[in-house]
């Protein structure tokens, strides 16, 4: 099975002024940008985004934010400042949830035409990483264990019915 890695292409100005003329990144705005991008581009439901409280504006500097899905799964988004004006880009090595579900479901439907699959909200792409999905094959439930075969999001999977 194969699915593509997603590096979020979100980019925006997230600048706010702080005391004594020091400029800070608007962390709340950054978190909203990350949430919108993950929900739209990865197809995941995001529960929370936790970023550092304060981040100084500094060209080429980066910081990380913890992304938590509604199901409790987590991953890290890296926010990079592209200039000294507060413009940021976001990268999150997450596998698109919908693509993983559809890829597994298509394979299962060869044997069970009504098969449905639900995968975790946040699937961090990592060679050798694994994630577990739930499947319903009509009257049979199954656990799908997927193993990532490389750092681009390709995976294979095994099924255990119960």
Residues 25 and 85 in one domain: yes
In tens digits, the chain (162 residues) has pLDDT values of 434 444 554 555 565 655 556 789 989 999 998 999 899 888 999 999 999 999 999 999 999 999 999 999 999 999 999 888 888 888 889 999 999 999 999 999 998 999 999 999 999 999 999 999 999 998 899 999 999 999 999 999 999 987
Instruction: Say if residue 79 is in the same domain as residue 137.
Output: no
The answer on 86 and 19 residing in a single domain is yes
Whether residue 155 is contained in a domain is answered as yes
Confirm whether 2 is domain-assigned: no
| Residue 85 and residue 41 in one domain | yes
- d(C-alpha 7, C-alpha 110), whole Å: 31
**Cα 136 to the center of its chain, rounded Å:** 24
Indicate whether 104 and 71 sit together in one domain: no
Same domain for 27 and 83 = yes
Same domain? For 103 and 83 the reply is no
Answer with the one of 91, 117, 151 that is the final residue of a domain: 91
């Amino acid at each position: 099975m194969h699915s593509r890695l997603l590096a979020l292409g979100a980019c925006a100005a997230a600048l706010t002024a702080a005391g004594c003329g020091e400029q800070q990144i608007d962390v709340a705005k950054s978190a909203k940008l990350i949430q919108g991008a993950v929900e739209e581009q990865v197809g995941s439901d995001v529960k929370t985004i936790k970023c550092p409280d304060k981040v100084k504006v500094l060209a080429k500097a980066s910081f990380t934010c913890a992304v938590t899905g509604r199901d409790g799964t987590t991953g890290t988004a890296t926010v990079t400042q592209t200039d000294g004006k507060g413009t940021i880009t976001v990268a999150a090595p997450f596998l698109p949830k919908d693509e993983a579900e559809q890829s597994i479901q298509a394979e299962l439907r060869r044997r069970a035409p009504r098969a449905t699959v639900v995968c975790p909200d946040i699937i961090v792409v990592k060679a050798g990483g694994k994630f577990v999905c739930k499947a319903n094959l009509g009257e049979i439930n199954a656990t799908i264990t997927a193993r990532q075969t490389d750092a681009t999001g390709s995976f294979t999977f095994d099924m255990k019915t119960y």
